[in-house]
Amino acid sequence: MTRQFGLIGHPLGHSKSPVMHEAAYKDMGLDAVYCAYDISPQELGNAIRTMKVQGIDGFNVTIPHKVAIIDYLDEIDEDAEAMGAVNTVVCQDGRWVGKNTDADGYIESLLPVVSDQSLTGRRVLVIGAGGAARAVIHALGKQRATISVSNRTAEKAQELAQLFSHLTIEAIPLNEAESTLGTYDVLINTTSVGMYPDTSKQPIALDRLKQATIVSDLIYNPYETALLQEAKQRGNRILNGIGMFVNQGALSIEHWTGRKPNRKCMERVVRMHLT
């Protein structure tokens, strides 16, 4: 029987998840479909009831439902609990279990470019304090990094540092982040600044960047943001968000099927569909 997977979010017009997942299933020889369901916050309860009746096998959850979905689940795992957000639901024998593959998906993309593949004790600056920053900070915490978080709205960075106070983390103002930039091993942009179509913007000035710092941006459309372009020109190692996107999707498939999809094939398809 054809297995039914999908994605709920709003709006979903731009999502590359359906083409990425269907390419992976085809490559795996898996008889499955992946449908995008554009569901507004007001429709969430009804949509969930319909999905339960129809017997979906698993689904991804994106903005704005990553937190609200938790109320409809039977259980959430440790990662989802720590992030307070779910991006993957596994439906098994009528039980719905919430997971979050964003943190591990990000770390899987970052570790190969870090020397010794270790972040223990490394100084990492995270720009932004939204949902994406939470996933990245949780991931960095699992790797025992030393974290600074900085955000346009400083109070939100402070709240995040408080939430993750069991980690080595501090909140700092953006001007301090800029002036101490030379002390970091990794710089990560988790904000939407620089995302298509507003591609000329940068979330932080790079004047004090040292050459050994890895510069990472969660954005993958454009493929290289203005931040990454400048860092590359300065001779720094850069990492865009496509790896995280592909890995979080691949980890969802692993939860649903117990099988490892071909990440290279998934990435190729996403790149092909970028504007």
Catalytic site positions:
66
DSSP, residue by residue, 258-273: S----HHHHHHHHHHT
Q: Which amino acid is at 86?
A: V
Helices 154-163 and 131-142: angle between axes, nearest 10 degrees: 40
DSSP state letter for 239: E
The residue within the footprint of ligand ATR, chosen from 125, 132, 149, 160 (CB under 6 A), is 132
Q: Which of 9, 58, 105, 128 binds ligand ATR (CB under 6 A)?
A: 128
Out of 43, 130, 180, 226, the residue judged to bind ligand ATR by CB under 6 A: 130
* Contact stretch for ligand ATR (CB under 6 A) within 45-53, 90-98, 141-149, 185-193: 185-193
The reply to whether 149 sits near ligand ATR by the rule CB under 6 A is no
Judged by beta carbon, residue 18 or residue 130, the one nearer ligand ATR is 130
Nearest distance, CB of residue 194 and ligand ATR, angstroms: 9
Contact 223, 274 (CB under 8 A): yes
Residue 200, classified by CB atoms within 10 Å of its CB into exposed (0-12), middle (13-18) or buried (19+), is exposed
The residue whose two tokens read 């990472």 is 216
Taking each helix axis as running N to C, give the angle between helix 17-28 and helix 263-272, from 0 to 180 degrees, rounded to the nearest 10.
140
Structure-block tokens of residue 62 = 């994106």
Q: Does 191 bind ligand ATR (CB under 6 A)?
A: yes
| Contact status: 193 vs ligand ATR (CB under 6 A) | yes
Binding region for ligand ATR (CB under 6 A) out of 10-18, 149-157, 205-213, 235-243: 149-157
Residue 194 in contact with ligand ATR, rule: CB under 6 A: no
Point out the residue whose Cβ comes nearest to ligand ATR. Answer: 130
- Residue count of the chain, please give it: 275
Tell me: does residue 192 bind ligand ATR (CB under 6 A).
Answer: yes
Distance CA 145, CA 25 (A): 35
Stretch in the footprint of ligand ATR (CB under 6 A) among 46-54, 72-80, 184-192, 228-236: 184-192
Q: Which residues bind ligand ATR (CB under 6 A)?
A: 128-133, 151-153, 156, 190-193, 203
